Chain A
Amino acid sequence: MLDFQNVVFRYPGDGEDTVKGLSFHVGKGEFVSLVGASGCGKSTIFRLINGLLAPASGDIVVDGASVRGRRGYCGYMPQRDMLFPWRTIGENLRLPMEVAGGLPRAAQDKRVDATLAHVGLAGWRDKRPAELSGGMRQRAAFARTLLTGSELLLLDEPFSALDFLTRVSMQEWLLGQWEDDRKTVLFITHDVEEALFLSGRVLVATEWPIARLTSIEVPAGYPRTRECLGRPEMIALREQLIDMLRKGARA
């Protein structure tokens, strides 16, 4: 589904590469978390995938084709909801389809309604973002990401700005969504527990510049409940991950 092939990237004006010959693979339908200390370049990887940044060398391949010059191959959900305050929820959700074009208005509205129902926001279509709670806004932002129609979803710390209880319920909600759709999800977080609870595999960034990601399988199947986090092998893995991140941050 997603392949990084020896990707190199350097921000203009920087003396050193941020991403240095990175290769990794994410398979179709996988839920993979990308963890690393703040500022290690996780978000840079996302911006390379969604085309906001272009690699200096190497290639990024999605669905068998290089992402260069392509559009609509991935849905990106930023940290904050980024709902446009002057648009209603329905109009916000329509945005990716408006930009992509090609779909008549009635068909767009139909997909918006279906997706709103899917994320549990039926009846909120004509409200404005300011009228929704933080968790609801993130759900609306997720719905907007789904409506890009892409099979690859890039979620960049989508729950980091939410309070603890909302975050926990949103994690459970997202897991339910993924189990229904089985889209390929790449999920950035700096919360090790969140990564373990959600993903089948964790990619750990331990060094800067990022030249490789350590891949660790999560020893738990789906469907999954929060109880699995209490199992000894999960606790051991959590400690191991925290240890790895700490070493990475120190270096």
Chain B
Amino acid sequence: MKNRCKGNLPALVFLAVLLFAWQLGAMKADAAYIIPSPVQILVRLWELREPLFTAHLPATMLCTGVGLAISVVLGVLLAVVMDAFPMAEKALYPVIIASQTIPTTALAPLFVLWFGYTIWSRVLVTVLITFFPITISVFDGFRAVSGEMADLLRTFGAGKREIFCKLKLPAVLPYFFSAIKMAVPLSIIGAAIGEWLGAQSGLGYFSRRMMTQLDGPGVFAPIVLLSAVAMLLVGVVSLLEKRLLKWRGES
């Protein structure tokens, strides 16, 4: 633990310098509606704690949770199907890659037309942003599985199902966790973007409302909260990863 703190020290120092420079710059500019200082943002966060934590954070988390869950299921499913059927890989892989060139944010207003101001328009934005890295990482994980290990299992008499359960599934877990660590922040961003474009609650919606009121610190406060939640969740996933993949640390 002590070593980890030491390892992070340069990053922490750099961050402190950055924040300090921001604070100085903001104080010099003295226009909170354009560039609020970090201290002003923290104060505003405290003042707004009631609506932020009781109404908007839960709304965003619900959208993030539903979107992430759908993305994980969809992403893993696509990877498994592409791994099992070469035809599916040929059909799906290029299309999935190409789909990422579509600027989802630009399409999001359409989703509001389709689903109205329900959670589903925001969930759709979240899923479209999030499922991709999961599919690609997990699929790459499947492709990296040792063919020699699969051959060895075949000489024991293993069929496709046993090779999947005993070799592919455990071998792909590290890739799965990397994917989740990428997907968690993306899903939060997706939810926030969705809320920006059309919602009646949520941190993204709240930030936008503060913008219309030229409340600079109020725009930043929910964003700081979003980042903090994303970091916390990634930390939890990392912890889970360490627990479940103990064998990786031993070599």
Q: Are A99 and B167 within 8 A (Cβ)?
A: no
Find out whether the CB atom of B152 lies under 8 angstroms from the CB atom of A78: yes
B30 part of interface (Cβ distance < 8 Å): no
Instruction: List residues of chain B with CB within 8 A of the CB of A80.
Output: 148
B12 at interface (Cβ–Cβ under 8 A)? no
The A contact surface, by secondary structure, is loop
Most chain B beta carbons < 10 A, residue from A86, A87, A130, A148: A86
Q: Which residue of B lies closest to A97 (CB)?
A: B156
**What is the chain A residue whose CB lies nearest that of B170?**
A86
- Interface SS of chain B: helix
The answer to whether A131 and B250 touch across the interface, beta carbons within 8 angstroms, is yes
Q: How far is the CB of A70 from chain B (nearest CB, A)?
A: 9
Residues 108-127 of A, flagged 1 when their CB comes within 8 A of B and 0 if not, give: 00000000000000000000
- In the complex, B209 has a CB within 8 A of chain A: no
Indicate if the CB atoms of A51 and B155 lie closer than 8 Å.
yes
List A contacts of B170 (CB < 8 A).
Answer: 84, 86-87
Residues of A within 8 A of B153 (CB): 95, 99
Residue B47, interface by CB 8 Å:
no
Determine whether the beta carbon of A86 is less than 8 Å from that of B247: yes
B156 touching A95, Cβ below 8 Å: yes
Check if A176 is an interface residue, CB within 8 A of chain B. Answer: no
Tally of B interface residues using CB under 8 Å: 22
Q: List, in ascending order, chain B residues with CB within 8 A of A131's CB.
A: 250
Contact present for A100 and B251 (CB under 8 Å):
no
Select the residue from B152, B158, B171, B248 with max chain A CB neighbours within 10 A.
B152
Contact A78 B148 (CB under 8 A): yes
- Please tell me which one of the listed residues B149, B155, B251 contacts residue A50 in the complex, with CB atoms under 8 A apart: B155
Contact B152 A100, beta carbon cutoff 8 Å: no
Q: Given the complex, which residues of A lie within 8 Å of B94, measured CB to CB?
A: none
- Residues in chain B near residue A130, CB distance under 8 A: 247, 250-251
B167 in contact with A84 (CB, 8 Å): yes
Q: A84-B170, A128-B247 are in contact. Are A148 and B148 (CB under 8 A)?
A: no
Known: A98-B166, A130-B250, A131-B250. A82 touches B154 (CB 8 A): no
Contact yes or no, A82 B156, CB < 8 A: no
Kindly list chain B residues whose C-beta atoms are within 8 Å of the C-beta of A87. 170
Give the complex CA separation of A96 and B157 in angstroms: 8
With a cutoff of 8 Å between Cβ atoms, the chain A residues found around residue B146 in the complex are: 82
Q: Which of B138-193 contact A (CB under 8 A)?
A: 146, 148-149, 151-158, 162, 166-167, 170-171, 173
Nearest CB on A from B19, distance (A): 41
- Contact call B247/A52, Cβ cutoff below 8 A: no
A74: which B residues are within 8 A, CB to CB? 155
23 A–B pairs (Cβ distance < 8 Å), ordered by A? A51-B154, A51-B155, A52-B151, A71-B157, A72-B156, A72-B157, A74-B155, A75-B155, A76-B152, A76-B155, A82-B146, A82-B149, A82-B152, A84-B149, A84-B167, A84-B170, A86-B170, A86-B247, A95-B156, A99-B156, A99-B157, A99-B162, A130-B250
Known: A84-B170, A85-B247. 4 other contacts (CB 8 A): A52-B151, A52-B155, A76-B152, A76-B155
Q: B-contacting residues of A (Cβ < 8 Å)? A: 50-52, 71-72, 74-76, 78, 80, 82, 84-87, 95-96, 98-100, 128, 130-131, 148
